[in-house]
Chains A and B, each alone.
Chain A
Amino acid sequence: MNTIPVEAGLILAGILFMLGLISVLVRRNIIFMLISVEIMLNAAGLAFITAGAKWMQADGQIMFIFILTMAAAEVSVGLALILQIYHQLKTLDGDAANKMKG
Chain B
Amino acid sequence: MKELLWLVPALPFLGALTLIIAGGNLKRGAVPFVGAGSVGLSALVSLLIGIDFLSGSQAPFEQHLWTWFDVDGFAPQVALYLDSLSLVFIFVITFVGFLIHVYSAEFMHDDEGYARFFTFLNLFVGSMLMLVLANNLVLLYLGWEGVGLCSYLLIGFWYQEEKNGYAARKAFIITRVGDTAMAIGLFMLFRTFATLNIQDILSQAPGVWQVGSEAAVAVGLLLLGGAVGKSAQLPLQSWLPDAMAGPSPVSALIHAATMVTAGVYLISRMFTIFELAPVAQMWVGIIGALTLLISGFSALTQYDLKRILAYSTISQIGYMFLALGVGAFSSAIFHFMIHAFFKALLFLGAGAVILLLHHEHDIFRMGGLRKKLPVIYWTFLIGAGSLAALPFVTGGFYSKDQILWFAYAGEKGNMWFLVAAMAGAFITALYTFRMVFVTFFGTEKTHVAHHAGKAMTIPLVVLAILSTVGGFIELPHTMGHIQLFSDYLKPVLPAISLKDGIESSEWIIQLIAGGLSLSGVYIAYYLYVQSPKTVDRIKISISALHGYWFSGWGFDDLYNFLFVKPFLWLSRANKADVVDKAYDGVVVSTDYFHRGFAWTQSGIMRWYMMGIVIGTILVVTLSLIYY
Contacts and interface: CB of A to CB of B under 8 A. Distances in A.
A24 B603 contact: no
B610 interface: yes
28 contacts: A21-B613, A24-B606, A25-B606, A25-B609, A25-B610, A25-B613, A26-B606, A28-B606, A94-B605, A94-B606, A95-B604, A95-B606, A97-B603, A97-B605, A98-B602, A98-B603, A98-B604, A99-B603, A100-B603, A101-B601, A101-B602, A101-B603, A101-B604, A102-B597, A102-B599, A102-B600, A102-B602, A102-B603
B110 to A, nearest CB: 72
Interface string B143-180: 00000000000000000000000000000000000000
Contacts of A102: 597-603
A9 B211 CA distance: 105
A97 B606 CA distance: 11
Nearest to B602: A101
Interface residues of B, number: 13
Q: Give the interface SS of chain B, mostly helix, strand, loop or mixed.
A: helix
Interface residues of A, number: 13
Contact of B609 (A24, A28, A100, A101): A24
A37 B597 CA distance: 27
Contacts of A21: 613
Contacts of B602: 98, 101-102
Interface in B600-627: 600-606, 609-610, 613
Nearest to A101: B603
Nearest to A97: B605
A26 B605 CA distance: 11
Interface in B400-452: none
Contacts of B604: 94-95, 98, 101
B600 to A, nearest CB: 7
Output the residue of A24, A97, A100, A102 with the most chain B CB within 10 A.
A102
A102 B602 CA distance: 6
A88 to B, nearest CB: 14
B306 to A, nearest CB: 72
A31 to B, nearest CB: 14
A21 to B, nearest CB: 7
Given A101-B603, A102-B603, 11 more contacts: A24-B609, A25-B606, A25-B609, A26-B606, A94-B604, A94-B605, A95-B606, A98-B605, A101-B602, A101-B604, A102-B598
Q: Which of B600, B602, B605 has the most CB of A within 10 A?
A: B605
A25 B605 CA distance: 9
Nearest to B606: A25
Interface string B576-612: 0000000000000000000001111111111001100
